[in-house]
Amino acid sequence: MTEPKSDALIVFTPSGRRGRFALGTPVLQAARALGVDIDSVCGGRAICGRCQVTVSEGEFAKHAIVSRASHITPATRGEEHYAEKRALKPGRRLSCQALIEGDVVVDVPSESQVHKQVVRKRPDTRPIAMDPASRLYYVEVDEPDMHHPSSDLERLYRALETQWQVTGVTTDLAIMQTLQKALRQGEWKVTVAIHHRLATGGKRVTAIWPGFHDRAYGLAVDIGSTTIAAHLTNLSTGEVTASAGLMNPQIRFGEDLMSRVSYVMMNPGGDREMTAVVREAINTLAHEVADEAGIEISDILEVVAVGNPIMHHLFLGIDPTELGGAPFALATGLAVTRPAREFDLEVNPGAYVYLLPCIAGHVGADAAGMVLSESPHLSDDIMLLVDVGTNAEIILGNRDRLLACSSPTGPAFEGAQISCGQRAAPGAIDRVRIDAQTLEPRFKVIGCDLWSDEPGFEEAIAQSGVTGICGSGIIEAIAEMYLAGIVNQDGQVDGAMGKVSPRVRPHQRTFSYVLRDGEPLISVTQNDVRAIQLAKAALYAGARLLMDRLGVTSVDKIRLAGAFGSHIDVKYAMVLGLIPDCRLDRVHSAGNAAGTGARIALVNMAARDEIEQVVRRIEKVETAVEPKFQQHFVEAMAFPHKTATFPELAKTVRLPAAKSVETATADGGERRRRRRG
Amino acid sequence: MTEPKSDALIVFTPSGRRGRFALGTPVLQAARALGVDIDSVCGGRAICGRCQVTVSEGEFAKHAIVSRASHITPATRGEEHYAEKRALKPGRRLSCQALIEGDVVVDVPSESQVHKQVVRKRPDTRPIAMDPASRLYYVEVDEPDMHHPSSDLERLYRALETQWQVTGVTTDLAIMQTLQKALRQGEWKVTVAIHHRLATGGKRVTAIWPGFHDRAYGLAVDIGSTTIAAHLTNLSTGEVTASAGLMNPQIRFGEDLMSRVSYVMMNPGGDREMTAVVREAINTLAHEVADEAGIEISDILEVVAVGNPIMHHLFLGIDPTELGGAPFALATGLAVTRPAREFDLEVNPGAYVYLLPCIAGHVGADAAGMVLSESPHLSDDIMLLVDVGTNAEIILGNRDRLLACSSPTGPAFEGAQISCGQRAAPGAIDRVRIDAQTLEPRFKVIGCDLWSDEPGFEEAIAQSGVTGICGSGIIEAIAEMYLAGIVNQDGQVDGAMGKVSPRVRPHQRTFSYVLRDGEPLISVTQNDVRAIQLAKAALYAGARLLMDRLGVTSVDKIRLAGAFGSHIDVKYAMVLGLIPDCRLDRVHSAGNAAGTGARIALVNMAARDEIEQVVRRIEKVETAVEPKFQQHFVEAMAFPHKTATFPELAKTVRLPAAKSVETATADGGERRRRRRG
């Protein structure tokens, strides 16, 4: 007879960590001892169900892994109770309940890991690793004992230390005020939230609930000058549970950023009004997403916000006037970690707000969010990130060096300063094609899936009508006009084309092209073309300036972010020369990269350190004081000659015949030289 | 010819630190390099005048130190300007302006040291070392530069680092909001306050002023259940600049602590009312002392508060109901460091509140303040600290071991539950003497320096009248009655003495002693004696209980703290047996020790760590669950037999003839045995 073994080998997959433990050791305890990442809120009491694993016995020989129940204790009453109430997938065990009885292989599914990875939709982006700053801990606190007097808070700390090995914790005043009731209501069992990353490095109890509580959420907020968007994110799974957006109510103080700064300059205290309304708007969104997700507003433990420098300052309650003129000095560009109550946010009273750092006076926390999302600092390739708004924020570089600037594109890309321009809204033309032979257009409007020449189009748009052209629509319209020869390389609307089609008509001593006759008449005027030329030249010149600084003549990858960047067809952006030369298959929309960056910082503590460090080493370039910017700007006014530089482009869009007999090369410098001539 | 020397020796007194420095080195810089403690707010710009020193040349031979101006540069224009404006004492130099030209001896007067020691009035107490948590720094910040964009806050941090070597600083939102204006108003010169001891260990910019600012104050607040006192303290000199006190407005919710707890129990939300009024009262005091000192309320950068557990909880906004009954659990007894704005205090918006830790459910932050002030934890002698109120807080021990308990003395010592009792206020009898032969009394009343048998007394008290007896008055009255034989050792008023004097009269089946005939009639009744017996027995029993625990039968030193402790004549306390046996010259009043403790914690950071550590190791004893407490209590009801145990007492007070023929010894155990018999 062999001596019965007193311990057994346990192997965790996928980590491969292994060790021997005394028989009767809970699997969760073994996992912790080996540093295997298994989540738990209830601390081993079969309540939370976060610690689920799949158990196999093991001889550890190939094919030998078959289920032998004897190597693990059967389900406990607590586990059965959990399975009845919350449903446990077949084969799953709660690792806190399953005790080791013999050699076993235990698989930790990704959803049971604290630091699970959340895969993003775009395949070219890195996954988001979960590592939230706020975590929940369920504890059983000792009752007061007159023979050993100690305060409720001290007993809570002791429970956190013995049950969770969490030490060095401090506590908000609000928690001290509610602690007694929570402990007694929960019969000395409470769940606390601990914030692990204060600016000063401490840990703090920020929320408390009687009994077991397993809802911890965060709000990622993107404060745009036009719209504010909020994404309610589950801090355990990383999932976005609900999203909502609304118009930035500051619009009533001024349509664009500069008019809001002017409002403050003309109306002392105007900044405080704008601070109040933006915070109210975030509260509205918080309630909206909480309602949609069916959670309490107090389940929101973190808010991470991004925005351009003026939005950033107004959210913080800082007068943005200094940002309205040279030297464009930020009051602070550093990341901010402050209690949400200081922002009057109606989330959990102990919640914290984290604001991403700003990069420079015109390159805000939204640009930092874009960097976090697109990660040029981790890339070997040279990446160009562009977020186009009234200003274009431009980031260029790779893991070795990063540069940033802002370029004054003006509002043309957003449809402003365009004769028939409008915001992207139902009724706005956003897609345009022009027949190069007949010069007849066809187009699509937002809110309708049909092209204008398809049957049923007029009925489909009867309600909205066709009201104007949005930013992406004007880009396509002008690019197609250029490709059809209606506009030449210098940006002139060619009146001679009026002989081909009556859609080219005289208009205020120049010519315009009519997309749609009727009421209203929708046309693209010479002035519209000029406005887009100015905007795209500014954008291009900013990118060129950074390329000069970095010493490169081309970039490997381009990401277009923001609403405009997400809507435009990158082909047309290249036709008009908004962005430098790049292989078309390497130019992508990054969607709402700023918001994604906020979401990453929301669920991953280390990402906050990361972006703060990256922003510190980004070299800030101020276009206003760079003489070369003007030079690039002037040179970039004309539309590029495309046939040779973009052979792959020729396959997807119809290019006009080259008007120049010079031999085109792939060299951007060469191209510039031609343009200057 | 000898080569001219390129460096020189500098010796600082009283520290004795010395070193060689290149000629032309500022004395202040040499001091810093050598770790010599010299204060400076302006950072070497001849503005603040904090760095004053006295310079002598030095051959360093005995008697050779004579003033030779050539060894130090003459006064600079900045120094002369300072001397004109602020007056510089003869022989004094600003060490930041004086450059080393040859060997010198430099004396640093105590007022130029950051860590100067403030001597306290009582010679038996340790001096207060200055080391405030909040300090001022004057900095010159770079202007924004478009060629090197950076935010105002980052440039401020850089200035703190290069000009003060202060790093790792964070900033309050309120500072971010005011930074721009302060920098521009001060033409890029500002003074900031930095708080060096947050609970999480960080440093934080808490206030900012344009230009040079040299006022930094703190408020030490003693929140008593009857009165609230505030002491405005200069954080540079340690001086108390102004003090003020007022009635605790919570009195309208209940005279004593228990009735306030009852109010909360009967009136949900009543705690919030009481929290609001105590905070308002502190605001009133803050404004009052600021006005008196001629400073701005925003110059108050710190508030340190002490109070009993119920006052502590109500100030924090915590419902005190749990403290009203067993198990008397504190919500929190830990020290609290939180922004003053969370307490609605109208001091500097960036100011912090520090609350000393509580020791136990009945032994509060005021007792912790008493410990800090009297420092039994640094004493070799066994010290007994007593703060008498409705409860007596008792601390016993020395550097090796400390014990604490609270004893339910009831309000008799404060004049309540005494037939003619009243608060210590004008008109109250506070001193009593009784002629042992005639039994005629004489007394003093508060607000009048004359004894009642001195000429002019009646005229002097005409306005206030004689309205009652305060706590210290009742102690003296009963002790004198005992010494005169009107009261026997068991506390019985001896009706037979009515034959000696008509002042001993029948009263409700027992007898009373009339101190003053008239309207109102002021007398001490049998019930009054019983009330004092109960109170003093509780006090004595608490002390005995701790002595038992500590294993001692006598104590080396006694400190009586608080209003009552400060007013009573310790001789009479010993006559009645309020406190255990101790040499009379080693029994002292400690004055408002709790308030002094708050003042120490206010000006010395290390004292906060110290008291937090000491409180952690104080052993808490709950009298309610200690059977021996009851036994001690019963035994302590009688008045002690004094002749033998206190020979030195016999010289200062007239003792009655011993009624017992037993031989008395100096042994307290012996005394107890006698009493039991």
- Is pLDDT of A248 > 60? yes
Chain A residue nearest residue B317, CA to CA: A177
**Most A CBs within 10 Å: which of B141, B142, B146, B314, as the mutation test of the A interface?**
B146
Q: Which pLDDT does position B655 carry in this prediction?
A: 56
| A201 neighbourhood in chain B, CB within 8 Å | 200-202
| Cα-based distances in Å from A47 to A52, A79, A236, A381, B231 | 11, 8, 16, 48, 53
- For A335, the closest chain B residue by CA position comes to B170
What percentage of chain A has pLDDT greater than the value 90?
Answer: 74
Vertex B407: Cα angle to B404 and B413 (nearest 5): 125
Model pLDDT, residue B58: 52
Q: Is the pLDDT of residue A513 over 70?
A: yes
In the predicted model, what is the mean pLDDT of residues B548-569? Answer: 92
- The tokens of B311 are what? 């006052």
Task: Tell me if chain B has a CB within 8 Å of the CB of A361.
Answer: yes
CA contacts within 13 A on the Cβ side of B589: 16
- How high is the ipTM of this complex? 0.87
Per-residue pLDDT at B130 = 93
Lowest mean pLDDT among A359-363, B1-5, B16-20: B1-5
Q: Looking at the partner chain, which of A148, A149, A333 has a beta carbon nearest the beta carbon of B151?
A: A333
B328–A180 C-beta distance less than 8 A? no
A666 or A507: which carries more pLDDT confidence?
A507
Give backbone dihedrals phi and psi of B617, rounded to 5 degrees, phi first.
-95, 0
> Which carries the bigger pLDDT value, residue B225 or residue A198?
B225
Distance from CA of A169 to the nearest CA of B (A): 9
Which has more pLDDT, A67 or A364?
A: A364
Task: Give the pLDDT mean for B113-130.
Answer: 83
CB B286 within 8 A of CB B219: yes
pLDDT band at B530 (very low <50, low <70, confident <90, very high): very high
Q: Scan residues 448-507 of A and list those with Cβ closer than 8 Å to B.
A: none
Q: Within an 8 Å CB–CB cutoff, is residue A274 touching chain B?
A: no
pTM above 0.90, yes or no: no
Torsion angle, CA of A133/A139/A145/A149, rounded to 10 degrees? -10
In sequence order, what are the beta bridge partners of A233?
A218, A240
- Check B154 against A361: CB less than 8 A apart: no
Cβ-contact B639, B651 below 8 angstroms: no
Model confidence pLDDT, tens digit, residues B599-644: 999 999 999 999 999 999 999 999 988 999 999 999 999 998 755 4
Exposure letters B510-535 (e unless 16+ CB within 10 A, then b): ebbbbbbeeeeebbbbbbbbbbbbbb
Print burial letters for B340-370: b (CB count within 10 Å at least 16), e (below 16).
bbbbebbbbbbbbbbbbbbbbbbbbbbbbbb
Name the B residues in 93-152 with CB < 8 Å from any A CB.
143-152
Q: Which residues in chain A are contacts of B180 at CB distance < 8 A?
A: 318-319, 322, 329, 331
The helix (H) or strand (E) run that includes residue A311 is helix A309-316
Q: Which residues of B fall within a CB distance of 8 Å from A357?
A: none
**Looking at the complex, does the CB of residue B167 fall below 8 Å from at least one CB of chain A?**
no
Q: Residue B406: phi, psi to the nearest 5?
A: -125, 140
Residue A405, strand partner residues: A394
In chain A, whose CA is at the least distance from the CA of B624?
A: A146
Q: Which of A171, A176, A303 to mutate to test the interface with B (most CBs of B within 10 A)?
A: A176
B663 touches chain A (CB under 8 A): no
Q: Does B158 touch chain A (CB under 8 A)?
A: no
Q: Which amino acid is at B64?
A: A
Q: Which pLDDT belongs to residue A323?
A: 94
Looking at residue A675, what is its pLDDT?
36
Q: How far is A43 from chain B (nearest CA, A)?
A: 24
* Most B-contacting residue of A173, A194, A206, A549 (CB-CB within 10 A), to test interface: A173
Q: CB within 8 A of B74, min separation 6: which ones?
A: none
Of B338, B358, B622, nearest to A146 by CB-CB distance is: B622
Question: What single-letter DSSP state applies at residue B82?
Answer: H
Q: How far is CA A388 from CA A29, A395, A414, A561, in A?
A: 51, 12, 9, 7
Burial (Cβ within 10 Å: 0-12, 13-18, ≥19) of residue B575: buried
Residue A331 to residue B152, Cβ atoms within 8 A: yes
Name the residue among A147, A201, A331 with its Cβ closest to that of B153: A331
pLDDT tens column, A294-352: 999 999 999 999 999 999 999 999 999 999 999 999 999 999 999 999 999 999 999 99
Residues within 8 A of B (CB atoms), A 612-631 only: 620, 622, 624-625
